[in-house]
Structure 1
Amino acid sequence: MTEMTLVPRRDAALPEMRVNRHWIGGQWMEGAHWTERHSPSHGHVVSRSAAGTEAEVETAVAVARAAFDDGRWSRQPAKARAAVLLRVADLIEAHAGLFAVIETLESGKPITQARGEVAGAADLWRYAAALARTGEGDSFNGLGPDILATILKEPIGVVSIITPWNFPFWILSQKLPFALAAGCTCVVKPSEMTPSTTVMLADLLAEAGLPSGVVNIVLGLGQPVGARMSAHPAVDMVTFTGSTAVGRTISRIAADNLKKVALELGGKNPQAIFADADLDSAADAVVFGVYFNVGQCCNSGSRILVQEEIAEAFVAKVVALSRHVTFGDPMDPETQVGAIVTPEHRDRIDAHVKAAQAAGARVVLGGGALDVPGLGAQFYRPTIVTGVTPDMAIARDEVFGPVLTVQTFRTLDEAIALCNDADYGLSAGVWSENVHTCLAFARGVQAGTVWTNTWMDGFPEVTFGGVKQSGQGREIGRYGLEEFTEIKSVVMRIGRTRANWVKTR
Structure 2
Amino acid sequence: MTIDQATGIKAQSYQQWIDGNACDAASGERFTRSSPAHDIVVGDYPLADVADTDRAVAAARKAFDTGPWPRMSGAERSRVLFRVADLVETHKDQLVLADVLEGGKPITQVRAEIAGAIDLWRYAAGQARSQHGESNSSLGPHMLGLTTREPVGVVALITPWNFPFVILSQKLPFALAAGCTVVVKPSELTPGSALRLGAILDEAGVPAGVVNIIVGYGATVGQRLAEHPNVDMISFTGSTAVGKGIVRASAGNLKRVALELGGKNPQIVCADADLDAAADAVVFGVFFNAGQCCNSSSRLIVEKSISEEFLARVEALTKRVTVGDPLDEATKVGAIVNQNQMDRILGFVSGARSDGAKVRLGGTRMETAKGLFMTPTVVSDVTRQMPIATDEVFGPVLSTLTFEDLDDAISIANGTHYGLSAGIWTSRYESALKAGRELSAGTIWVNCWMDGFPEMPFGGMRESGIGREQGPHAIEDFMETKSVLFHQGPRTNLWVPAAGVGRQ
TM-score by length of 2: 0.96
Contact 1:369 1:377 in 2 (8 A): no
Matching of residues 448-467 of structure 1 within 5 Å? 448-467=442-461
Structure 1 vs Structure 2 CA RMSD: 1.2
Counterpart among 422, 431, 436 of residue 437 in structure 1: 431
Q: Distance in 2 between matches of 1:450 and 1:261?
A: 24
Q: Distance in 2 between matches of 1:377 and 1:195?
A: 20
Q: Tell whether the 8 Å contact from 1:146 to 1:497 is kept in structure 2 after alignment.
A: no
Shift of 1:15: 4.2
| Alpha-carbon distance in structure 2 between the residues aligned to 1:383 and 1:138 | 54
- Deviation larger for 130-139 or 327-336: 130-139
- Residue aligned with 1:320, SS: helix
Tell me if 1:405 matches 2:393: no
**Matching of residue 33 in structure 1 with residue 29 in structure 2:** yes
Is 1:484 aligned to 2:478, yes or no? yes
Distance (Å, rounded) in 2 between the aligned partners of 1:76 and 1:158: 16
Establish whether residue 123 from structure 1 lines up as the match of residue 119 from structure 2. Answer: yes
Q: Does residue 284 of structure 1 match 2:280?
A: yes
**1:304 equivalent in structure 2:** 300
Distance 1:321 1:16 in 2: 35
Q: What is the CA–CA distance in structure 2 between the aligned matches of 1:389 and 1:227, rounded to whole Å?
A: 37
Q: State the match for 1:239 in structure 2.
A: 235
What is the match of residue 173 of structure 1?
169
> In structure 2, what is the Cα distance between the partners aligned to 1:267 and 1:359?
22
Q: How does 1:297-336 map to 2 (within 5 A)?
A: 297-336=293-332
Q: 1:34 to 1:144 in 2, by over 3 A?
A: same
Moved over 4 A (4+): 11-15
Cα distance between partner residues in 2 of 1:479 and 1:422: 28
Q: Is the 8 A contact 1:371 1:377 kept in 2?
A: no
Q: Secondary structure at the match of 1:266?
A: coil
Matches within 5 A, 1:45-124: 45-124=41-120
Out of 203, 224, 232, the position equivalent to 2:199 is 203
Quote the offset at 1:29 in angstroms: 1.6
CA positional deviation for 1:148: 1.2
Change beyond 3 A, Cα 1:45–1:498: farther
Q: Is residue 461 of structure 2 the alignment partner of residue 502 of structure 1? A: no
Partner of 1:427: 421
Q: What is the aligned counterpart of 1:348 among 344, 348, 361? A: 344
Following TM superposition, by how much is the alpha carbon of 1:412 offset from its aligned partner in structure 2, in angstroms?
1.2
Look up the equivalent residue of 2:353 and give its one-letter code: Q
1:155 maps to 2:142: no
For the structure 1 residues 296 and 342, does the alpha-carbon distance in structure 2 shift closer, same or farther, using more than 3 Å as the test? same
Return 490-499 or 247-256, whichever deviates more. Answer: 490-499
Name the amino acid aligned to 2:148: L
Contact kept, 8 Å, 2:149 with 2:482, in 1: the verdict is: yes
Matching residue of 2:383: 389
Aligned partners of 2:130, 2:273: CA distance in 1, in Å?
40
Q: Confirm whether residue 144 of structure 1 aligns to residue 140 of structure 2.
A: yes
- Give 1:45 shift: 0.6
CA contact (8 A) 1:159 1:187 kept: yes
Partner amino acid, structure 1, of 2:375: R
Asked whether the 8 Å contact 1:159–1:186 carries over to 2, the reply is yes
Report the CA distance between 1:228 and its aligned residue: 0.3
Q: How far apart, CA to CA, are the structure 2 residues paired with 1:125 and 1:12? A: 37
Query: CA offsets per residue over residues 165-202 of structure 1, 9 Å max, x none?
Result: 00000000000000000000000000000000000011
TM-fit CA distance, 1:497: 5.0
Distance 1:182 1:14 in 2: 43
What letter matches 1:494 in structure 2? Answer: Q
Once the two structures are superposed, residues 32-65 of structure 1 have per-residue CA deviations (whole angstroms, 9 ceiling, x without a partner) of: 2111100000111110111111001111111100
Tell me by how many angstroms 1:16 deviates.
2.1
1:295 to 269, 272, 291: 291
TM-score (norm 1): 0.96
Report the Cα offset of residue 331 of structure 1. Answer: 0.2
Of 379, 400, 418, the match for 2:412: 418
Please state how far the C-alpha of 1:390 moved relative to its aligned partner: 0.8
Report the Cα offset of residue 493 of structure 1.
1.4
Q: Give identity over the alignment, percent.
A: 53
* 2:83 partner amino acid: R
Q: Does 1:17 align with 2:47?
A: no
Cα distance in structure 2, aligned partners of 1:192 and 1:438: 41
For the Cα contact (< 8 Å) 1:21–1:219, is it kept in 2? no
Question: How many pairs align?
Answer: 493
Report SS of the residue matched to 1:143.
coil
Say which of 208, 215, 221 aligns to 1:219.
215
Number of the residue aligned with 1:447: 441
Residue 470 (str. 1) matches residue 464 (str. 2): yes
Is the Cα–Cα contact under 8 Å of residues 370 and 377 in structure 1 kept in the other structure?
A: no
Q: Give the structure 2 partner of residue 190 of structure 1.
A: 186
Letter in 1 for 2:337: V
One-letter code of the match for 2:208?
S
CA shift digits 1:119-145 (9 cap, x unpaired): 110000000000011112222121122
Distance 1:107 1:120, change over 3 A: same
